[in-house]
Chain A
Amino acid sequence: MIELKHITKTFATHAGSLAAVNDVSLTIQSGEIFGIIGESGAGKSTLVRCINLLERPSSGSVVIDGHDVTALSGRALRGLRSEVGMIFQGLSLFQQRSVIDNVRFPATLNIGKASEKSAADQRKRARDLLGLVGLADKADSYPNQLSGGQQQRVAIARALMTRPSILLCDEATSALDTLTTGQVLDLLARIKQEMGVTIVLITHSLFVARKICGRIAVMEGGRVVEQGSVKSVFEHPQANVTKALLGIETGREVA
């Protein structure tokens, strides 16, 4: 379970300080796929980066499975990160490493408790994961030989290398076409099913949220303006931004 308690993150800008995330509290249950939706600049990415402390909250706390991780640093922080996998919007594979070496990379950092130690064991697990994402035959290829969707699947395999209990997906399908997006989402759903991984997924796409998420939170201007099951939020949107995302006339712009 991930509990975000009163998370605020401010950045110093030329125009003064800006609260990218403003007093957000959320509880994400173990084993669910939780979506965070909103328009660009709503603070989704900053909020999710607070979970693995790529961004350190200015105030508030991050509690994972009952442990307050907000103040972790050094080796303990790196240990936490090995238990929280992350995939990104941009293609983030190491271009100078083969696919299999990309997948086993997290295990080579010597921090994950559950990680294989020997190179042979790491390769074996990496091959298994490549099988899971349907790319067993690409183990010895290099990233630039793969399509965008294939690269994202390799990134998913890599994120799973250290057996994380949580997988953060930051607009992981936004750069992909519809068909490929569908394949990646099916893969994520299968991973949740087979491994019981909790998935936190950021998206601005309602299609993505509807297809895969159990519950969602809608963000606007650094705040969560609405949350609930996908069904209830989509059928009975309350906030104007949700209605706007759904393409419903909000009455905000009176002709």
Chain B
Amino acid sequence: MDSAVLSAFFAKYGSLLLKGTIDTIVMVFGSTLGAYVIGVPLGVLLCVLAPDGLRPHRVASAVLGWIVNMGRSIPFIILLVFLIPATRAIVGTSLGVPGAIVPLIASAAPFVARMVEQSIAEVDGGLIEAAQSMGASTWQIVTKVYLREGLPSLLRGLPITVITLLGYSAMAGTVGAGGLGDIAIRYGYQRYQNDVMIATIIILVIMVQIIQSLGNLLVRKLDRRMHA
């Protein structure tokens, strides 16, 4: 492909791809934020209420586990359609970027909850007992031990969530959510314009690489154990 072809391609589709990229970024980061706002407290609760947790509660723990599992067992593409009435009620539309964010959050929050639960479970029980022996309250243990000591592991989960949501956001494109997935489906699948589809794939691959690298950088910066 020589440069004349390339510049003609960008002249024609450049602004479309740019808008799609921005839409995707907004969808992914908006839903990541929402998923963590809901998922972190859920994950903490799963740990605190577990049989060997700080405040064991069999019934609450079982109910919460059930809800989280239910959220995780519905395939995203089905959740997307299933949630349309709820999405309309919450953001006023089931279309475009706002319409995609609700189901994206709904699917990622339980996923985040399980990852947070996992990260906290990795925190050495000896540290929790030490904090208890100093008189730390449950809330202090959650904020000062669970989340602080679990931070590197939590941060390693972040790019996993973001990249999963990136994939989901492309699926959301099939029901008119906008973004790169929407462009790939409309141009690549419905109009057989492979060049546009390949361009979206290249953009997605680059985004994944950047997200993972940023995630790794964050862990390196913030994990105190590596500063030897």
A95 touches B130 (CB 8 A): no
Give min CB distance, B113 to chain A, whole Å.
22
Q: Which of A76-84, A192-200, A223-231, A242-250 participates in binding chain B?
A: A76-84
Complex contact B225–A142 (CB within 8 A) = yes
A81 close to B135 (CB less than 8 A): yes
A94→B134 contact, CB < 8 A: no
- Given A94-B149, A106-B135, A109-B140, answer yes or no on A86-B225 (Cβ-Cβ < 8 Å): no
Q: In the complex, what distance in Å separates the CA atom of A162 from the CA atom of B124?
A: 23
* Given A82-B134, A97-B148, A109-B134, A144 and B127 contact (CB-CB distance below 8 Å): no
- Which residues of B sit under 8 angstroms from A112, Cβ to Cβ? 135
Query: B58: CB under 8 A from chain A?
Result: no
Q: Are B228 and A106 in contact (CB under 8 A)?
A: no
Q: Judging by beta carbons under 8 Å apart, are B224 and A88 in contact?
A: no
Q: How far is the CA of A106 from the CA of B144 in the complex (A)?
A: 11
Q: Is the CB of A145 closer than 8 A to any CB of chain B?
A: yes
How distant is the Cα of A29 from the Cα of B221 in the complex, in angstroms? 49
Instruction: Decide yes or no: A54 and B133 within 8 Å by CB, A88-B126, A92-B127, A95-B149 being known contacts.
Output: yes
Q: Which residues of A contact B135 (CB under 8 A)?
A: 77-82, 106, 109, 111-112
- Collect the chain A residues with CB atoms within 8 Å of residue B12's CB: none
Taking chain B's interface residues, is the majority helix, strand, or loop, or is none over half, making it mixed?
A: helix
Asked if A22 is an interface residue, CB under 8 A from chain B, the answer is no
Interface contact B224-A90, CB-CB below 8 Å: no
| Also in contact, A81 and B225, with CB within 8 A (given A88-B126, A94-B148, A96-B149) | no
Judge whether A94 and B137 touch: CB under 8 Å: no
Q: Mark B190-228, 1 if CB is under 8 A from A, else 0.
A: 000000000000000000000000000000000111011
Contacts A142-B224, A142-B227, A144-B228; A96 near B151 (Cβ below 8 A):
yes
Q: Which residues on the B side are within 8 Å of A111 (C-beta)?
A: 135
Q: How far is the CB of A39 from chain B (nearest CB, A)?
A: 22
Give a binary string over B143-178; 1 marks a CB under 8 Å from any A CB, 0 the rest.
011001101100000000000000000000000000
A85: B residues at CB distance < 8 A: 133
Judging by beta carbons under 8 Å apart, are B134 and A106 in contact? yes
Chain B residues near A84: list those with CB within 8 A.
133
CA distance A145 to B130 in the complex (A): 20
Please, what's the 1-or-0 string for A97-140, where 1 marks a CB less than 8 Å from any CB in chain B? 11000000110110110000000000000000000000000000
Q: From residue A52, how far is it (CB to closest CB) to chain B in Å?
A: 6
Tell me the bound Cα distance from A88 to B125 in angstroms: 12
Write the chain B residue with the least CB distance to A52.
Answer: B133
- Measured in the bound complex, the distance between the Cα atoms of B135 and A81 in whole Å is 5
Contact with A along B116-142 (1 / 0, CB 8 A): 000000001011011111111100100
Given A109-B136, A112-B135: A88 touches B225 (CB 8 Å cut-off): no
Chain A residues near B144: list those with CB within 8 A: 105, 108
- B143 to chain A: closest CB distance in Å? 11
Q: Which B residues are in CB contact (< 8 Å) with A52? A: 133
Are B224 and A96 in contact, with the CB atoms below 8 A? yes
Q: 5 shortest A-B CB distances, which residue pairs?
A: A81-B135, A78-B135, A92-B130, A86-B133, A106-B134
Query: Other CB < 8 Å A-B pairs besides A78-B137, A96-B151, A142-B225, 5 of them?
Result: A82-B134, A97-B148, A109-B140, A158-B134, A162-B134
What are 9 A-B pairs with beta-carbon distances under 8 A?
A: A54-B129, A82-B135, A92-B129, A94-B149, A95-B149, A96-B148, A96-B223, A96-B225, A144-B225
